[in-house]
Amino acid sequence: MSEKQSLWKIFTAGIIRENPVLRLVLGCCSALAVTTTVSGALGMGLSMTFVLVCSNIVISALRKAIPDKVHLPCYIVIIATFVTVVQMVLEAYAQDLYDSLGVFLALIVVNCIILGRAEMFACKHTVVESAVDGVGMGLGYIITMLLMSSVREIIGNGSWMGITIIPESVDRMGIMNQAPGGFFVFGCLMALCVFIEKKTNHPIERKTCGEVMLDEIDAAKSEGGDQA
């Protein structure tokens, strides 16, 4: 029973408590760039989730075989392999989506979300836990992308998934299709998360990069002491 609860906690962490975009502020470049349409955001979200889950599984399975000194290059090679698979599939069967995502599809290789989960989770946990973590983080990313793109497409284009929602007689807010509109929606969603966090009285622990590095150094020292 405790194992199931643990897996459930890992799964929900990426959706709510540690949402990669709105709570950890990772992968913001693609989130702001491809959310002008729902179809593009959904395609990017599914592609990211596929790469995240597959790379988590492989990295977790090989975590004991990958040398510490070259772990980052190995992670990038594994991630790049799955990104190439996604690119080939989209180019063959979804040419319009492949063209709309453009360079941001290739940039999944160095996306902070995937590299971060590989470094902080997959290399330290089992294959099942890593797969669940990848699904949870990917689902949180997809939900965020859908929320941002829905607001931007409806207000900016008057449509949703290409279906007209607002009559042509109503003026559109073209700024939603530009960078300022993306930042505005992104900021509003982050503010909403903070508001919900305060209302539910479940604040997350926020640390600076320096504090995170110190924690990792202390953990490494404690592990070394235990082994000694």
Q: What are the pLDDT digits (tens) for 6-15? A: 888 889 888 8
90 pLDDT tier (thresholds 50, 70, 90): very high
Residue pLDDT, tens place only, 37-77: 899 999 999 999 999 999 999 999 998 898 888 888 999 99
* 132-146, 156-170, 190-204: least confident range: 190-204
Compute the mean pLDDT over every residue in the chain, rounded to the nearest whole number. Answer: 83
213 pLDDT tier (thresholds 50, 70, 90): very low
Q: Global pTM?
A: 0.83
Rounded to whole angstroms, the Cα distance separating 223 from 228 reads 9
Domain spans in the chain, listed from the N-terminal domain onward: 7-227
Distances (CA, A) of 137 to 15, 17, 59, 118: 6, 10, 16, 12
Mean pLDDT of 77-88: 94
What distance lies between CA 78 and its chain's CA centroid? 17
* 48-62, 101-115, 186-200: least confident range: 186-200
Say whether 65 sits in a helix, a strand or coil.
coil
Distances (CA, A) of 206 to 57, 74, 75, 212: 27, 29, 26, 10
